Each structure stands twice: as C-alpha cells, then as structure tokens.
Amino acid sequence: MEKTLAVLGGTGHEGSGIAFRAARAGWKVWIGSRDGAKAAAKAEELNALLGTKNIIGTDLAGAAHAGSITVLAVPYAAQVSTAESLHGALEGKILIDVTVPLRPPKVTLVQLPEAGSCVKALQERLGDGIAVVSAFQNVSAHALMDLEHPVECDVLVCADKPEAKAAVLALIAEMGLTGIDAGALANSVVAEALTSVLIHLNKTYKVPASGIRISGLKK
C-alpha cells in the first residue's frame, strides 16, 4: 500500500519541513492549505529541491482525505477549528499534532492552557476514533530543510495508543531523525513548553536551530 502523508498547514515553515523530509524518504505527500493555489506553489518549490514529484498541493480537505497519516501543523489559534472541520476525513486515522500554544508576541514565554497539554485536549475533543500523536514540536524547520548536516535534535513522541505511536516512530526513522518514546499524550506538555525555551535560546545565542538530545539511551 502506498504510504501517503497529509500535512495540514504544509505551506508554513514547520509543515513544509516535515513534508520535505517525508517526501525525500519516499512518501507521497499532500500539502493542505486554505489556499489550494498557495499549496500547489509550495509543492512545486519543494519538488524542485528534491528532484521528485512526490509532493502535491491542494486544499485542507483534499489533503486530509488523501493521507493515511495526517500532520496538523497550523498555528495554535487554528488547531481546534481545523481539526474539527475535517473530523470525517480524519476518522480512523493517525493525526500527528505539532501544535505549540504560542501566544504572540511573547513566544519566548511558556503560556500553556489551563488544561495543560493542548494536544491532549484536542484528543479529548476529537474522540477515540482519531489517534492523536504529539511529535515534532522541538525540531526546527531550518534543521528539517538542511540536508547538508544531521539533525541535532531528538523527536519526543507522546501518545495514548501504542500502535499509533509505533507508526509515527517508524515514520520519523524513515525521515532520518531519531524518535524517542516519551510516554502518554499528557506528557506532550513538556515538548509544548520546551518550544518557547528553544526560541529564547535561538534569539539569545543567535543560532537558527537549537534542539534537544536525550542522553543515556541506546539508540
């Protein structure tokens, strides 16, 4: 069966970086955007960089229907509305949520919602028919797009459904990254909060892509 990945918000920096890496690994990638023409232009741009035709640009609904696994890479303000509007297309599938509760302009300040993890909160809203997995919050788009150097950042993966977590860890490995099983979906709150710290580090130390490594594990 063909491996298909939908990236909702795939014209943004993080979404396009994930699409780029997955397409390079041989996945057929559907970039979804509210503006289908913008998605098509981004797909053409990424295909030119890769020398392939593995990426297709379309609207959000078209991408969500096409992907066997879907990535949600939209701003925090659009997280719930985007996912709920596509509930039917996502039912029975894995949804990788990259969301971080950043509240501009204070993006270097941790500002979690009262419930804690915004990804766990989305799982509760969508119901058990969609397997939500938290991943990619701490890997910069700059690192994902840079094929000249290894990605110096582990990917924390949190989920309540073991099979969904295993599938996402396998995808991450295919993308040439190191995925780490970080436990239940509630633990996503750590990755969500850490993003603001990494943004602060980037600004303070004038680097494009600070990240995290988990020590003491046999990888």
Complete domains list, the chain, with CATH? 4-205 (3.40.50.720)
87 Cβ partners below 8 Å, 6+ apart?
126, 130
What are the CA-CA distances from residue 155 to residues 55, 59, 98, 138 (Å)?
A: 23, 28, 11, 7
- CA distances from residue 170 to 1, 7, 41, 163 in whole angstroms, order as listed: 16, 17, 29, 11
Q: Which residues contact 97 (CB under 8 A, 6 or more apart)?
A: 72, 79, 83, 119, 122, 132, 133, 134, 135, 188
Q: Please give the pLDDT value at position 63.
A: 98
Q: How many CB atoms lie within 10 A of CB 217?
A: 10
Instruction: Kindly report the backbone phi and psi dihedral angles of residue 180, in degrees, each rounded to the nearest multiple of 5, phi listed first.
Output: -125, 125
Dig out the tokens for 137 from the structure: 């919050």
Region of 49 please: left (phi>0), alpha (psi -120 to 50) or beta.
alpha
Q: Are strands 178-181 and 154-159 parallel, antiparallel or unpaired?
A: parallel
Other beta carbons within 10 Å of 150: 11
CA 27, CA 174: separation in Å to the nearest integer?
Answer: 9
| pLDDT for the residue 12 | 96
pLDDT value of position 1? 58
Q: Which two tokens stand for residue 207?
A: 């680097």
Kindly give the confidence (pLDDT) of every residue in the chain, 219 residues in length, as a single tens digit, with 9 standing for 90 and above: 579 999 999 999 999 999 999 999 999 999 999 999 999 999 999 999 999 999 999 999 999 999 999 999 999 999 999 999 999 999 999 999 999 999 999 999 999 998 899 999 999 999 999 999 999 999 999 999 999 999 999 999 999 999 999 999 999 999 999 999 999 999 999 999 999 999 999 999 999 999 999 999 987
pLDDT tens digits, one per residue of 145-177: 999 999 999 999 999 999 999 999 999 999 999
What are the C-alpha distances in Å from 64 to residues 25, 88, 135, 158, 198? 20, 9, 18, 22, 30
